[in-house]
Structures are given as C-alpha cells and as structure tokens.
Chain A
Amino acid sequence: MSTTTPTSPLTEQPKFRSSWTQKLSRLVQPFVLLAPAGVWLLLLLVLPALLILELSLIPGFRLGQAAGAYGLGNYFDIFQFTYLQVIGRSIYFALGATTLCLLLGFPVAYWIALMAPKHWRNLLLVAFILPLWTSSLLRAYAWITILRPSGVLNSMLAALHLPTQNWLNQSPAVFIGMAYSFLPYMVLILYASLEKLDTRLLEAAADLGATPQQSFWKITVPQTLPGIAAGCLLVFITSVGDFVVPELLGGASSMTMSRLIYNQFLGATRNWGFGSALSMIMILAVSLAIALLLRYGDRNSSLS
C-alpha cells in the first residue's frame, strides 16, 4: 500500500491492488450513493413537472374528462384582466414585502454583525430567526388575533386615544404578515454578507474624513450588494409563492397567484389545465429569478 502517493483524495482511490472487483466497486459506488435519491427526485419532481407542462398545453383540461387537443389556450386565458390583476397583485405584495424586509432587516443585520458585543452575535442571530422555526400558519393566525377589529392592536390604539384601524382582510395585513414571515430570511442572508465586510476600510474612510453616511454608501453598500440581491430575491420568490399569509390575512379581495392555483385544483373550478399553466408561469418566473441570482449574486450567501 505504501507505494501509492495520495492524489486528490476524495475523487480517487489508491490505484494499487486494482483487481476487477475493485474496478467494479468503483463503478458501482457512485451509483449506489446517488441513484436512490436520483430516482426519487426523478419520479416525484422531474416527471411531475413535465406532466404539468403537458397538462398546461391542453386547453380546459378537467380531471375525468377525455383530454382535448394540444394548444396554448390556457396561456392565452391568463391574459384576461382579472387574472392579470391577480398576477399583478402577487407581484405587488411580494415587492412590498421585499422592500419592507430590506428596510427593516438591514439595520438589524448591521447591528448584530458589526456593532453588537462579539460573544452575543451568534446568540442574537439565532434568537432573531427562532420564530422562523414555528408554524407559519400559527404565526399568520397570531396576526389575525392582533389585527382583527376587536383585536390587540385596536385595544392598544383605543387605550392611547388613537383612531382604530381595520387592517385585517386588507392589503396592510398582507404586508405585515409577509414582512413578519420573511424578515428572518433577509436578516440571515444580510448577516452572512455583513459579517464578511472588511471593517478596516470603514476605519480608513473615517480616518480620511468620510462621514458615516459617505462610508456607508461608498463602502458598506457596494460590498454587501451581492448579499442584498440574494436576500431580496429570496424574499421576493418566497412571498410571490406564499399561500398562507394572503389566504388568512388578505381576505376575499386579495386573491393571489397561489390562491388562484389552489382554487383551480382543490376549489370548485377544477380547471386543471389552467391551473397547470399558472403553475408553469410561476415556475418559469422563479427559475428566471434564480438564474439572475446565480449569474449576478453572491454564491456563498445565496443558499445558506
């Protein structure tokens, strides 16, 4: 065995003793490790995705009916005012949630990553993202309790002699619920990015007479731009596909894409063809966003 020189260790086994059984085992090993998960993903992710692509190309497909001819009818149907409005609303909610998360999350990530006592940083970060581990349904439900007309918020406003608000089942509730749900993701990603910031540059800038504002816009922001992009895209993607918050907090007038898709499959409409076309649009939009993220974003913080 001593004759073998260690080469790139994880990719090659010792070349010595190379009998046919070893050659075979080298061929079989990757297969044994990768095939089970691969088959599972192929069967329950790739094939299903191809199937909804096919269904989306059958206009008006409903379960239990003979499939009609292929066509782009389902995609043309999307170009109706009501549906375009739904898509627009989803994007509006997602953009709003992303903006809120960035504005609120940046100071938090900045303070925890750069200003908080060193020993506390990990603990503070964990404490901040801890609510992420709890049920998203129950977090939205908690906001129902707060925002409903006789809820906690209005009791507090009334006690302060301020006008009460009727936010539940309106857009403000959706923005609050989404910002609440996705803020931890934003803070997590911004933290990872800010932690790597070279603070010596900030010191140098201060020594050279830059104001804090100047060094923030000229040093901090450019250096953390990949993290900002990654955080914004992640929050945008998650909120554009969110179902729970608009459904529970948005009320009937806040129909979004995922609720529309849900209704096409499990609601009264049962138009699987149209629902599939909407799902494909959503998958394509998300893939485009991911492609942009991988092309221009920071690889290290994008999937952490």
Chain B
Amino acid sequence: MSQPALTKRTSWQMIVTLLLFGFMYFPILVLAFYSFNASRYSSRWEGFSLRWYESLLNDSRILSSLQDSLFVAFCAVGVSAILGTMMAVGLAKYRFFGKGVYRGVSYLPLIIPDIAIAVATLVFLATLGVRLNIWTIVAAHVVFCLAYIAVVVSSRLANLNPHLEEAALDLGATPLQAFIKVLLPELMPAIVSGCLLAFVLSMDDLLIASFTAGGGANTLPMEIFSRVRTGVKPDINALSVVLILFSGALAFLAEYLRYRSDRRQFRQ
C-alpha cells in the first residue's frame, strides 16, 4: 500500500513551520543581539559589550520593581496553590446545588479580558475605601492564579485512579490523612506545574497591577511599560534577555514535570 503524503520528507508544511519557528524566535534573538551591542542606537554591530547588563544591575528602580513583582507573585501563587487545589479537589469529589455556577465563575478569569477584571477590582476597592497597596495587587492576582492552578490540578484529577484514596479510607485512614498521604503526592506535579504557570502570569501582568497598585507599589511590568512607551532603551534589552532565560527555564521545568507525571501515570 502506498503511504499517503503524510510521511513525505520535505513538504511545504515543514517549510512553513520552519519559517514560523524563525518568526517566533527572531524577536528574542534581536533583543539578545542588541543587549550585547556596544552601540546605543545603531542596529549595526559595534562591538561586544556587557554595559547594558551592568547598568541594569545598578538600576535601583528596576531592582525594587523586580522585588515588588516577586513578592506579589510568591504571595499570590502561595495562596492560590492552597485555595486552587482545595477547589479542584472539592469540585471533583462532591455534587452540590449550584456546582455549575461555581465552576463557571472559577473559569471566568481565564476568559474575561484583563482590563475588565482590572476595572472591576479597582471600582470594588474604591467603593469599599480600601487603601491600594501591594496587598491589593496580591489579592487581585490570587483571582486568576487560582483559576489557572485549579484548571491544571483538575485535569490531573480527572486522570487519577480514584481507588487509591478509597483504599486508604478502607484501611482506616481519616479523610485528612488520606488526602495528605495519598491524594496530595499524586497531585504534586500538577500543583507545581500550575504554580509555575501562575507565577509567570503574575510576573507578566500589567493591567491588573496598574489598576490595583495605587502608587503604593511598582511591579516590573509597570516599570517596563512606563519606560518602553517612550522609546527604545538598551538596558531593557538586557532585562529582556535575563527574564526570557528565567521564564524559559520555568517553562521547561513545568513541561518536564507534566511530561514525567504523564509517563508515570501511563505505567500504572
């Protein structure tokens, strides 16, 4: 039998794919190129230099905004990891009145544009007269971090063997023991990979932080936004390279964890 065109070696689809891989990585390479270029304005190569990385390290505004961003991301992801996991487990285990509505609301932050969430949160906090500061950013970030972690954990729960926890209960474990000793270790790769995703999203959020910071805090995206809006800044190239390497590493870690847990599941 002649195989259809699917196994051909070179095809136009492959060429398009290669070109688009180029398209996806070209901007990143451009940033890297500029970050090592000694010249300030020229797109020509004028010698290798680490001066932009140096100026980045001495930039106290960038460093303090990085600190704010990391603080927000760690707090928001920490809280969301606990609440999101509990929510995913609760939704998988129980049937109750209004479950559809609850699930629907928990998915909303994945879909509603950031600007609408940002506006709503600002209006709400202003109505209550809450002073805006770094904690209001954390509270707002928990909303979407929660949703992402819950989705990742839910998809893992759906593929899990339900008899393991049941067996623990039959053998006399309390529901809490069964949860901590049996279910939680099984869910851990999903929780960690959900957390990494939520962390990156929190570090990337501009709109919600801008609306809920109120001058009390300045996150990294807010700082970058206010700078790049007014033109091209060579030290931002260096910052891009650092951040891209960092989030690339996180992405690989998340994918690796998911891949490994999928394989382990497959063997069972």
Contacts and interface: CB of A to CB of B under 8 A. Distances in A.
Contacts of A122: 259
A45 B166 CA distance: 35
B142 A111 contact: no
A108 B20 contact: yes
A46 B114 CA distance: 15
B207 A115 contact: no
A272 B116 CA distance: 12
B44 interface: yes
Interface string B136-164: 00011011001000110001000000110
A39 B258 CA distance: 30
Interface in B21-68: 21, 23-28, 30-31, 34, 41-44
B30 A146 contact: yes
B169 A104 contact: no
B247 A133 contact: yes
A137 B224 contact: yes
Q: Secondary structure at chain B's binding surface: helix, strand, loop or mixed? A: helix
Most A Cβ at <10 Å: residue of B92, B115, B117 = B115
A148 B42 CA distance: 12
A29 interface: yes
A192 to B, nearest CB: 12
Interface residues of B, number: 106
B93 interface: yes
A114 interface: yes
B80 to A, nearest CB: 9
Given A41-B106, A133-B251, A183 B24 contact: yes
Interface in B215-268: 221, 224-225, 228-229, 232, 236-237, 239-240, 243-244, 247-248, 250-252, 255, 259
Contacts of B113: 237-238, 240-242, 258, 282-283, 286
Nearest to A151: B43
Interface string A95-126: 00000000010011011101110000010001
Interface in A26-70: 29-30, 32-34, 36-38, 40-42, 44-49, 51-52, 55, 63
A103 to B, nearest CB: 10
A221 interface: no
Contacts of B175: 13, 25, 29
A115 B7 contact: yes
A141 B31 CA distance: 9
Contacts of B91: 34
A215 B4 CA distance: 11
Given A137-B206, A243-B114, A52 B119 contact: yes
Given A33-B87, A241-B113, A136 B204 contact: yes
Nearest to B7: A115
B227 to A, nearest CB: 9
A205 B2 CA distance: 12
A237 B162 CA distance: 36
Nearest to B166: A9
Interface in A198-214: 199, 202-203, 205-207, 212
23 contacts: A1-B170, A13-B169, A13-B175, A14-B169, A36-B86, A37-B87, A40-B83, A40-B142, A63-B126, A111-B14, A133-B247, A133-B251, A136-B204, A143-B27, A148-B232, A152-B43, A183-B23, A237-B113, A238-B113, A243-B114, A243-B206, A248-B228, A275-B119
User: Can you list the 4 inter-chain pairs with the closest CB atoms, starting with the nearest?
Assistant: A241-B113, A33-B90, A142-B27, A48-B120
